[in-house]
Structure 1
Amino acid sequence: MSGITYVQGDATAPRGKGVKLIAHVCNDLGGWGKGFVLALSRRWPEPESAYRRWHRERSGNDFGLGAVQFVQVDRFTWVANVVGQRGIRTGSKGVPVRYEAIDEGLRKVAVRAAELGASVHMPRIGCGLAGGTWSRVEPLVAERLVSRGIEVTVYDFG
């Protein structure tokens, strides 16, 4: 799909100049301990502590499917905690990924990226532990971000 740059590398070390926004998918249970979030936590403590606080205080905020929390980790780098999966396990209701929540989250990421003049960087969101397929997520990335002129880089680790 044109407009998305695919690279081998680590999404926690985004390439290029200017402001960068790293988007990733979180669950709606407050769990942070497997997958891409571990790489984020090795690099910066703020996204995890902010997410855990956001979940803990959810009765008074917007925490839930489709919500996004933006955490600045250095002068030119932000992390977008996108709540895009219901639970953490595949079960009778299928895989945890919720495409409509990722779509809504990406809409919010696009608004913030435009405000910041930022490029967006991500692993193949929703396609690891959440159990989603890139063929379903990629069009959402293209529609919400690329169509607005936002540069997107997707990182395949290793």
Structure 2
Amino acid sequence: MSGFTYKEVNGDLFSVKADYSMCHCVAADLRMGKGIAIKFRTKFGQLLTLQRQNVQPGGVAILKDKERFVYNLVTKQTSWGKPTYQLLHSSLSAMRQHMIAHNVQKLAMPRIGCGLDGLSWNKVKEMVCEIFQSDAIELVVYNYVPGAAKQ
């Protein structure tokens, strides 16, 4: 038993407890002008910190927010581009390395890459589970439902 747990809930990702690290997908240009990225930008800010990291597609730009990390998975070059499964896999793997190094055991995410970016959630979910299956990580995926009650 690896200790990996996975669950999906309906609700607002930003209602998750503060001991959960969070992740979402961004472009290397860090515009964050659409979709859930706007909420991440508004809530966590620190755009300069992210820009200074100069992360390329396939990497992860990281912010520290009190006790948790906010992972910005860089899955494409420009905000109007589209990610590939390969780049998403690479970004997720980079995030996993950081999580292991910093003993992060709780992660919350939206259906990454599947909103405006148009990837298939079934494929992404399979990839996410495969990457983290051997780790003691509690992973919660938030399915956004407008107006949903907090979990």
1:101 CA drift (Å): 1.2
Compare relative contact order (CA 8 Å, sep 6+) and give the higher one, 1 or 2: 2
Contact residue 7 and residue 155 of structure 1 kept, 8 A? yes
TM-score for both structures, normalised by structure 2 = 0.81
Among all aligned residue pairs of Structure 1 and Structure 2, give the percentage whose two residues are the same amino acid.
Answer: 23
Aligned mate of 1:4, from 6, 9, 22: 6
Contact residue 69 and residue 81 of structure 1 kept, 8 A? yes
1:151 equivalent in structure 2? 138
Contact residue 64 and residue 70 of structure 2 kept, 8 A? yes
- Paired positions, count: 141
2:92 equivalent in structure 1? 106
1:13 CA drift (Å): 3.0
Please tell me whether residue 141 in structure 1 is matched to residue 128 in structure 2. yes
Residue type of the alignment partner of 1:77? R
Q: What is the alpha-carbon distance in structure 2 between the residues aligned to residue 141 and residue 106 of structure 1?
A: 7
Unaligned 5+ segments in structure 1 are 91-95
1:73 equivalent in structure 2? 65
Contact residue 30 and residue 79 of structure 2 kept, 8 A? no
Contact residue 70 and residue 81 of structure 1 kept, 8 A? yes
| CA RMSD across the alignment | 2.1
Q: 1:74-111 CA distances to partner (integer Å, 9 max, x unpaired)? A: 2x221001111343346xxxxx0211111111112112
Contact residue 58 and residue 73 of structure 2 kept, 8 A? yes
TM-score for both structures, normalised by structure 1 = 0.78
Contact residue 122 and residue 153 of structure 1 kept, 8 A? yes
Unaligned 5+ segments in structure 2 are 146-151
Q: What is the alpha-carbon distance in structure 1 between the residues aligned to residue 135 and residue 92 of structure 2?
A: 12
Q: What is the alpha-carbon distance in structure 1 between the residues aligned to residue 121 and residue 113 of structure 2?
A: 8
Q: What is the alpha-carbon distance in structure 2 between the residues aligned to residue 148 and residue 123 of structure 1?
A: 20
Q: Quick check: 98-107 or 113-122, which moved more?
A: 113-122
